[in-house]
Amino acid sequence: MFIGIDHGTTAMRFASETGQFKLTREEATGFSIADLSHLCPPDEIEGIALCYSMGDNFSKITNINKIKNRGVFSREGAGKHIGGGTKVFDEIKKSGIPTIVIPGLHRDSPTDPRFKAYSHQSSPEKIGIAYAVSRDLGDDIVVSDASSNTVTLLVTAGKLVGAFDACIFAPGTRHGALDVDAIRRIDAGECTANEAFQQAGVNYTLPDEDNLRIRTVAMFSAMECAALLLLNARARVALAGSLASLIVPEVESLLGQDVAVYDEWCASRGLAAIARDVFSGAEDILGIDVDL
């Protein structure tokens, strides 16, 4: 049995090829290996693919025993820090179960260098989403993950080309780019940049009327997809995340094409598939090298 673990904004999601369960980030602070019994007896687990935070201090899919500082430069920065992801990482490492850690996409990643105008393109769990979608739709895809934040990735000829991270372009329900108003509040000492980021989503910036928040996420998600389609017009488009089924009608209308829909388990299932393939001998995943 192979397991994928998605370190999401609001929850930790655990999946195998046959089942799944999730813990809120707060519940995950009490995680133990015995919790994996929801999927199978822990002694039957052959490998795990794990995500942690931004995954920004390494660029290969790497054995957990080779990872320093859980794969991040710092826990400070964009995002909410609770401790659930830390607990899961440490318990998995302590268990001795064969485990790989998935990197995020950043300036040391093998993506198109033009995307490296920004330091960070995507957190690690989005690699799981891209892998799951590419296994279904082929080697040329654009996939937008819309939920608390919105992140959109491009795969061309089976390789990750680049991505738009949540703090760059499209808002989600909680997170978004820092606009002029946010910069002024930060400069005035009214909030930190991280606090501004966590209140830049549509739930904070727009009224809850006439479905405006969902329509806004749909529009910006479609815009990110359209931007990436400039680099690969033949790519098939998919949506994932908790908002995918809500925004798909408007995204399809705006793009003028059919869009595949995946649910909140797409990342963890894709990560489980990565674990199976890496521990079966794969030397790279979507162009990201493996270091066991």
Give the domain extent around 275.
Answer: 2-170+211-291
Helix 125-137, helix 266-279: angle, nearest 10: 80
Predicted pLDDT of residue 75: 58
* Residue 89, SS3 per DSSP: helix
The answer to whether residue 122 sits within a structural domain is yes
d(CA 171, CA 202): 7
* Within-domain flag for 184: no
In a domain, 179, yes or no: no
Asked if 7 and 51 touch (Cβ cutoff 8 Å), the reply is yes
118: tokens are 């920004």
Task: Identify the pLDDT of residue 8.
Answer: 81
Cβ contacts of 172 within 8 Å, gap of 6 or more = 146, 147, 148, 149, 150, 166, 201, 202, 217, 243
- Tell me, yes or no, whether 132 lies in a domain: yes
Please tell me the predicted confidence (pLDDT) of residue 78. Answer: 56
Would you write out the chain's pLDDT as a tens digit for each of its 292 residues? 999 999 887 889 999 989 999 999 899 999 999 999 999 999 999 999 999 988 899 999 999 999 999 989 865 555 566 688 899 999 999 999 999 999 999 999 999 999 999 999 999 999 999 999 999 999 999 999 999 999 999 999 999 999 999 889 999 999 999 999 999 999 999 999 999 999 999 999 999 999 999 999 999 999 999 999 999 999 999 999 999 999 999 999 999 999 999 999 999 999 999 999 999 999 999 999 999 9
Residue type, 190: E
In a domain, 98, yes or no: yes
Number of domains in the chain: 1
Residue 144: enclosing H or E segment and its boundaries? strand 141-146
9 belongs to a structural domain? yes
Q: What would the two tokens of residue 151 be?
A: 């992140």
Identify whether 198 is part of a domain. no
Q: CATH number of the domain that 166 lies in?
A: 3.30.420.40
